[in-house]
Amino acid sequence: MTAGGLAISAAQRDALCRWLDHLRAVKGAAENTLAAYGRDVGQFLDFLSHHHGGQEGLSALLTLGQAELRAFMAHLHARDVAPRSVARKLSAVKGFLAFVADQQGSDATPALSARGPKYRRKLPRPLAEEAARAIIDVVGDQAAEDWIAARDMAIVTLLYGSGLRISEALGLTGAAHPLPATLRILGKGGKERLVPTLPATVQAVARYAALCPFDLGPQEPLFRGARGGPLNPRLVQKVMEQARLQMGLPASATPHALRHSFATHLLSAGGDLRAIQELLGHASLSTTQAYTAVDAARLMEVYEKAHPRARHG
């Protein structure tokens, strides 16, 4: 049977659906994550059908070894898929194969031992502390209407002051106002975390709420578009883009860069890596550890500029 243009047998397709349902119900995976996993594993199953000369049932998945996974990676490489994306796809495939093996009482170790490609992890690109503070003021001066200017300023203050993702900030409802000392945030995968709010953030949101012409009911979105509907994240990106151009900052100065700046500046001030992991809602400490590389790079830059031996060779 062909599913969505892919040659996948009914048994394999059903197993994929069960795995995604399991991730949704037990792991609390987000719908965007599930959609990506479905595409990645679907691509692998389609590849297997062509690689083996026809569609196969579940039993074929239980006998896979490193050779098939390496062939899949070579197939992706030949199509110029980036190593980082290949590694992500392989991770999804391994998760699926482990699930199927567990369901069938089999051992997936031979396939799971296949190693993905090495790639350089992209380092976060935070703003300098002065730029992060300045961009908040610049954002607040852009809109013609006072309430929209206050809204934009409140959002970027939240992103930098509490390290929120843009989706998390725009997911807040009127029940969050007035902001408490700590916010309960529902992050990726339905994972809850507590994040602190600075007095400046509380004041910025309060000013926006006082000027907003729409009713900010407990169940209604806190941040509204010009016509009263939920605010589109693209508008926040556009506001940051305009401020970036005005200030002469690089293209990396995006709303998400404010979250990176929050983490990097906390680390620079002596913040504990585990605590920062909790504040950001990272599932793995290795994700948070990328900020130590950023901080080290910044320290080396300062050293090279300031140390007499570095300056005079």
- As annotated, the active-site residues are 165, 188, 256, 259, 282, 291
C-alpha distances in Å from residue 292, one per residue of 92, 139, 159, 264, 287: 27, 29, 20, 8, 10
Q: Which residue do the tokens 């991770």 mark?
A: 91
C-alpha distances in Å from residue 258, one per residue of 91, 92, 237, 284: 29, 29, 12, 20
Rounded CA separation 84/105 (Å): 31
Rounded CA separation 276/261 (Å): 12
Rounded CA separation 146/144 (Å): 6
Rounded CA separation 260/265 (Å): 8
